[in-house]
Amino acid sequence: MGKNLSITTISLLLVLASTNTQQIFDVKSYGAQPNADITQALTNAWKAACAVAGSKVVISEGAYKLGLVTLLGPCKGAIEFNLQGTLQAPLDVAAFNGKDGWVIFERIDGLTVSGGGVFDGKGQQAWQKNECGEDKNCNLLPINIRFNYITNSIVQDITSKDSKFFHINLLECKKLQFQHVTITAPADSPNTDGIHIEHSSQINITNANIGTGDDCISIGDGTQDITANQVTCGPGHGISIGSLGKYQNEQPVLGIRVTGATLSNTNNGVRIKTWPSSPSGVASDIHFEDVVMNNVANPIIIDQNYCPNNQCSNQSPSKVKISNVSFKKIRGTSSTKEAVSLICSKSVPCQQVVLSNIDLAYKGGGGFATSTCANVQPAVSGTQNPPACTIKV
């Protein structure tokens, strides 16, 4: 009996020890100093932390220079990246040797990124060299933070600032949460999407504050089961599904829910965009609800003729099939007269599109807000300001 009790007690103590202790790996213990380059120190601290179960890499307050770094798993157990200070990227794009990421988290299960710190991408010089607006085959600039093959993880209380390209990019991630994340860049910074998600599932974004020069949130192909709740967006290009149909063999986009968002002074509101002359594709089960628009251009938009700077052929309609889409309880002010624009494909018309309780006032002079529809017959209910599909093209 006594022997059994002691075994039980020891087992309990081991469980408590594993859940309550976190081994700390401070980069200063690996030679990091404020205002100096800490690339090697961080790499060494990460490798050491990754090799033990239940660890925490700490970068304390202060400014640190950091080159391209890949923080690679799999790790022995859950691991926390705790950034309290500011990491500063190299100014010169050449320092990245053509790589498309700055801080890369890869193949980790049970990652926490936290601490209230800042990833400063120092993008001002790079923006002047960005050719992606004119050339869709441009060389991609470094993304501030890349999450590749990350599962069962959380990112909270961090800031991404002035990225050279996208701020945060998710690829092949599953069960990843974002809470209280801030993203900031000037309105004229090109291609600085806030959070871009592709080939990922079960992603949750809550209480994000995003102001940038492109989409606040953009959702690419192969993305399923995404929720974004209480996101503020502006400046920026809005919250976008797509663009889709640019490449061959794109995977479906399914199960997207955006609720409780506030968009202010953005170039677009909530939108779905696909390229003309596209291969076949699917975007379905997409819902925008309880969204406030403050002086937003194009508050509600489906654009299946998306072709920025004439980079594509308009010879044939988009073959991306859009269905089961709803816009509900969307209210506020539009800076353009056309507050609702649902331009679907002649080849595969949109199906099961719902407009419910839309109340968007045009802020300019010369009449009221209008709506335009093509190749879609939305089901409407509740308030309809502007009247739904008063113009059919």
Are the beta carbons of 144 and 113 closer than 8 angstroms? no
d(Cα 163, Cα 245) in Å, to the nearest integer?
26
- Pair of tokens at residue 162: 């002035």
Of 162, 196, 221, 237, catalytic: 237
Are the beta carbons of 100 and 108 closer than 8 angstroms? no
What's the DSSP call for residue 142?
P
Instruction: Please say if 196 is a catalytic residue.
Output: no
Instruction: Please say if 237 is a catalytic residue.
Output: yes
What residue has token string 């269905």? 323
d(Cα 154, Cα 139) in Å, to the nearest integer?
30
Are the beta carbons of 77 and 71 closer than 8 angstroms? no
Of 214, 215, 285, 303, catalytic: 214
Does an H or E element contain 19, and which?
helix 2-20
Of 116, 57, 123, 113, nearest in space to 88 by CA: 123
Spatial CB neighbours of 149, under 8 Å, sequence gap ≥ 6 = 106, 107, 108, 171, 172, 173
Residues labelled as active-site residues: 214, 237
